[in-house]
Amino acid sequence: MEEKEELEIAQVTLTINEQPVEMEMTLPAQPVKASRVLPILQKMSDSFVKVGEEGVAAQGKEVSCKKGCNACCNHLVPVGELEARNISRLVEEMPEPKRSQIKKRFSSTLTHFRKSGWLEKLNTIQTKTNKERLEIATEFFYEGISCPLLADGVCSIYENRPLVCREFLVASPAENCSDPANKPIDRVQFPTSLSTPLRGIGNNPELGSSPPFLPLMLSLEWSEKFPESAEEKTGKAWMTDFFESLREYEKDKKEALKSVSTS
Ligand code: SF4
């Protein structure tokens, strides 16, 4: 018989942009793998997105994103190890023939970006300036290759889509999204981004240093080569790691803003 998971409630207060944000979380009380806390972080991301949507409404504007409009799925989707492995698991659990079709799309997308030389550019991404990184991401978008998980215009893992996809909402006309380098894009602002700090937790320590991000298209290949580490911690300990990663992210963001305003 499967053992019932023990849960505990944690009250969390974060200070974001000098504003207190209070949350209640139900966390596994016993040691679990990092992947177990991913649904908790997805829920947290959704509540931050809701705050962003309310902010848009308060300004008398509307979020333009809706089912079937998917130009944003042509963007580079950066994920970390946790989300890459989750994507791989979700694809493996898909029924046939969908699983084979999606796997084929991953493979043809990778072939395209390997042949074009774009994927190779990621090897030196850490040495690039922000401007150069933006150019690389823009180049990716204008290749016009949709995410391999987009099927019939809809995300095939919508409920489990990466946090970075949840955080991409706009209040500008939807048609502008097909030409973001030349048309204005009004991105919805959230209290903070959770997608970047997520990449800082649950990484396999045996791999040494993890890449700063993986493009989503590498998820299946990467997960096959590097399975999830056996490391287990309580939900509270994983969330402590996550909040530490979030704190670092906020600090870096403030430093970056400071250097922009002083340069
Ligand atoms: S994961 Fe889903 S929402 Fe994100 S880019 Fe791919 S298809 Fe679009």
Parse the chain into domains and list their residue ranges: 62-230
Asked whether 79 and 213 are in contact (CB, 8 A), the reply is yes
Best residue among 79, 87, 155, 164 to mutate for probing ligand 1, ranked by most atoms within 8 Å of CB? 155
Going by alpha carbons, the residue nearest to atom 8 of ligand 1 is 73
One-letter amino acid at 149 equals L
Does residue 90 have its Cβ closer than 6 Å to ligand 1?
Answer: no
Residue 182 and residue 197: Cα distance in Å, rounded?
A: 30
Q: Which residues of the chain have pLDDT under 50?
A: 262-263
Q: Give every CB contact of residue 143 below 8 A, 6+ residues apart in sequence.
A: 74, 112, 113, 116, 118
* Residue 254, pLDDT score: 77
Tell me the whole-structure pTM to 2 decimals.
Answer: 0.92
Ligand 1 atom showing the smallest separation from residue 158 Cα: 2
- The 10s digit of each residue's pLDDT in 90-115 is 999 999 999 999 999 999 999 999 99
From the alpha carbon of 75, which atom of ligand 1 is closest? Answer: 5
What is residue 256's predicted lDDT score, i.e. its pLDDT?
Answer: 66
Query: Residue 197 has which token pair?
Result: 């700090």
Question: Which of 85, 56, 90, 13 is CA-nearest to residue 188?
Answer: 56
pLDDT of residue 30: 96
pLDDT at 2: 64
Question: Which residues 6+ apart lie within 8 Å of 242 measured at CB?
Answer: 37, 41, 197, 198, 200, 201
Give residue 149 CA to ligand 1 midpoint distance, Å. Answer: 6
Q: How crowded is the C-beta side of 89, counted as CA atoms within 13 Å?
A: 14
What separation in Å is there between the alpha carbon of 9 and the centre of ligand 1?
31
CB of 105 within 6 A of ligand 1: the answer is no
